Amino acid sequence: MMLRTRGKSAVQARTHWVVLAAVLIALGLALAVQGYTHHLAGIGDDSVRSDRSAAGVPSAVAHGGPIIDARGNSIRTVAPPDHTIALTFDDGPDPTWTPRILDVLRAHHVHATFFVVGTAAIDHPELVQSIVAEGHEIGVHTLTHADLGTAPEWRRQIEIQGAQQAIAGITGKTASLLRPPYSSENDAVTDSLWSAIRSTASEGYLNVLSTMDSEDWRRPGTAEIARNLIPSESQGQVLLLHDGGGDRSETVAALDSALTRLSEQGYRVTSVGDALGIASMRPASAMEQVSGTVFVWGLRLSDLLVTAISWVLVASGVVTIVRALLVVGVASRHSRMTRRGRRHVDMPLRPEVIEPVTVIVPAYNEAAGIEAAVRSIAASTHPVEIIVVDDGSTDATADIVEALGIPGVRLIRQENGGKPSALNTGLRAASHDLVVMVDGDTVFEPGTVHRLVQPFADPRIGAVSGNTRVANRGGILGAWQHVEYVVGFNLDRRLFDVAECMPTVPGAIGAFRREALVRVGGVSEDTLAEDTDLTMSLCRDGWRVVYKDDAVAWTEAPATLNALWRQRYRWCYGTLQAMWKHRGAVVQGGAAGKLGRRGLGYLLVLQVLLPLLAPVVDVFAVYGLVFLDPLRIGAVWLVFLVVQLLMAAYAFHLDRERLRPLWTLPLQQIVYRQLMYLVVIQSVFTAFAGMHLRWHRMERYGSLRVPTSEVG
């Protein structure tokens, strides 16, 4: 729906940036959560990692029982009764080994305590539910298997609370038993680990260490693990095994034989809670269940999001590489055909076009550059009629043209009606069948018009696009735009020419068959990209539109970021309007179908969808640098940069340009690219919101000069 007031439009325009910022912040948080839970820690071996200082560890802990209760002012420790073994498993659940261990326990009618890692539990909730359903006990082993002894307090809180929320969200119960990762027996408790134990005790947890380590994490072999599981004395023990963290086939085999021997020797094997006669798990409150469920689904969604983005990145990378190979390959073919004097293999050589041409220059407040533009066209080696249509200028544009007194130059004054109106006025006044349209901020080389109209020797040609180059390319902003014109616009035009789906003949330099223009009703005012709209109309009418790379025009590019934004915003929004207007070409045949399926498809993927995904890609790149391998991420970026540099170097070679501006390409990929992506986002939002976009006229700088020689 079209918004009717400027105030509402301004509010809407601000709102979408707020929405974009909110989406990127949410995405960043999701990636941060996913990166934290999957890449800042990991399940590895259980060798002790904390410092070795134990000066602050109470003697009651260092020489006491493996279950430590430090929840109050006093510290108590306890061990299972004699001939009782508390069987514990760490680092699970694992989809391969946990079910097999449960099978062994079921066969021996034994219950155990499983200290689960929160992220593994979220990945395999059905295993956690099976553990509880079969009467086993769940304990906390942190969220990501982090070393609590070296972690700061904020991370300890995240690790413990996150694991508890995962358990509550999956099982509907909470656990009071906790085993710090990388812990061992009491005499191995260090100052840092003791600090972690006190911290978790303040949250209400009983810390469970071990008295017998199977050392299955070393994978010493089934026989040795089995021997490590058999106590040499009758006193109660806490056995440590693992059901996750790697290959546990030795653990499964050793457990089966050890349980048989322990039963034969009269040991009672059970869970920690049962061994102590306590209920270590209780039903979670409604709030705890809701919080846990939200937490679990939040992590799952973050995982899905990262997976989806990963596939999008792969697709984007493939598209980028394919596009680079495609445009370079097609540009090479286009160059060969140009040297042979033909556009396509099915187009034979034609006689030289020498008939006069009408050049239409629409002008609105072009005083800064109109003289250079008109003089350059008047100096053409091809016979030309020049019609300058002053579209209600408020400066001296018309007076300057009149004062030139150049033969063959006609000035038409009209009230301001917009560029399409000015072009149509010039078209009605044109004396010749071939028409060239040129912006008032553009200058031609002497041979430009002659070269531009040569394809009209073929009666199938309805329009010809010339080669637009940036005149004011000084400074980094000018260099960036120069690179964009040569690498982006001109390479793409070569591709569109060969594929016979040219979507745009630029307003800076385009030639048309008057008959073709009349058949499509002249220049339409339906969109802000009248040049794109007109070109698409010609293609849909069956005309072929081609590219003449040696017909060069020099134009002024925006010299400030604000001016660049306004220009590109208008271009992008107008292109979206034209794409929507001509969407029916997708299902048409002939030239229209080529435009619809090839041209519009290319624009949709390369100039709309990929830019819309660019902020996500950039956020993911930061994620990769922080949580993944920075060297690998940097190497991937370097590969893409090299591809861009090679493609740019070839494009500069085709346009016979010096390579010096390419030093700005790496910075262009970081800074300039972001601006262009934001332009696309703004344009797409504007289009979907139905807001009316006013014409943004670019500021003129008067930097154009009449060429004194050909640039070749």
Comparing C-alpha atoms, which of 162, 124, 139, 214 is closest to residue 41? Answer: 162
Tell me the C-alpha distance between 430 and 7, whole Å.
42
Tell me the C-alpha distance between 342 and 395, whole Å.
44
Residues serving a catalytic function are: 90, 242
Which pair of structure tokens corresponds to residue 431?
Answer: 């004396």
Residue 444: strand pairing partners: 553
Do residues 227 and 327 share a domain? no
Do residues 254 and 346 share a domain? no
Considering 263, 284, 305, which residue would you say is the last residue of a domain? Answer: 284
Do residues 563 and 474 share a domain? yes
Do residues 530 and 661 share a domain? yes
Q: Is 383 inside a domain boundary?
A: yes
Looking at 143-157, 484-498, 584-598, 603-617, which range is the least confident one? 603-617
Give per-residue pLDDT as tens, 194-252. 999 999 999 999 999 999 999 998 999 999 999 999 998 889 999 999 999 899 999 99
For residue 197, what are the domain limits?
59-284
CB 163 within 8 A of CB 119: no
What is the average per-residue pLDDT within 18-42? Answer: 73
Give per-residue pLDDT as tens, 500-559. 999 999 999 999 999 999 999 999 999 989 999 999 999 999 999 999 999 999 998 888
Indicate whether 616 pLDDT > 90.
Answer: no
Give per-residue pLDDT as tens, 219-229. 999 999 999 99
- Residue 561 maps to which CATH number? 3.90.550.10
Model confidence band, residue 698 (pLDDT cutoffs 50, 70, 90): low
CB 645 within 8 A of CB 54: no
Q: How much is the pLDDT for 2?
A: 34
Kindly tell me the burial class for residue 511, based on how many C-beta atoms sit within 10 Å of its own C-beta (0-12, 13-18, 19 or more): buried
Do residues 161 and 231 share a domain? yes
- Residue 213 maps to which CATH number? 3.20.20.370
Tell me the C-alpha distance between 59 and 306, whole Å.
48
* DSSP symbol at 189: -
Q: Is 457 inside a domain boundary?
A: yes
Q: Is 10 inside a domain boundary?
A: no
Which pair of structure tokens corresponds to residue 120?
Answer: 């593994």
Do residues 222 and 339 share a domain? no
Give per-residue pLDDT as tens, 572-602. 999 999 999 999 999 999 999 999 999 999 9
Do residues 225 and 275 share a domain? yes
Model confidence band, residue 315 (pLDDT cutoffs 50, 70, 90): confident
Give per-residue pLDDT as tens, 432-454. 999 999 999 899 999 999 999 99
Q: Is 293 inside a domain boundary?
A: no
Amino acid, res. 219: R
- Cβ neighbours of residue 392 closer than 8 Å, sequence gap 6 or more: 364, 414, 415, 416, 417
Residue showing tokens 């435009």: 595
Model confidence band, residue 394 (pLDDT cutoffs 50, 70, 90): very high
Do residues 447 and 595 share a domain? yes
Which pair of structure tokens corresponds to residue 3?
Answer: 């918004």
Do residues 543 and 608 share a domain? yes
Do residues 268 and 366 share a domain? no
Work out the end-to-end distance of the chain between its first and last CA atoms, rounded to an integer number of angstroms: 50
Looking at 158-172, 352-366, 662-676, which range is the least confident one? 662-676
Count of domains observed in the chain: 2
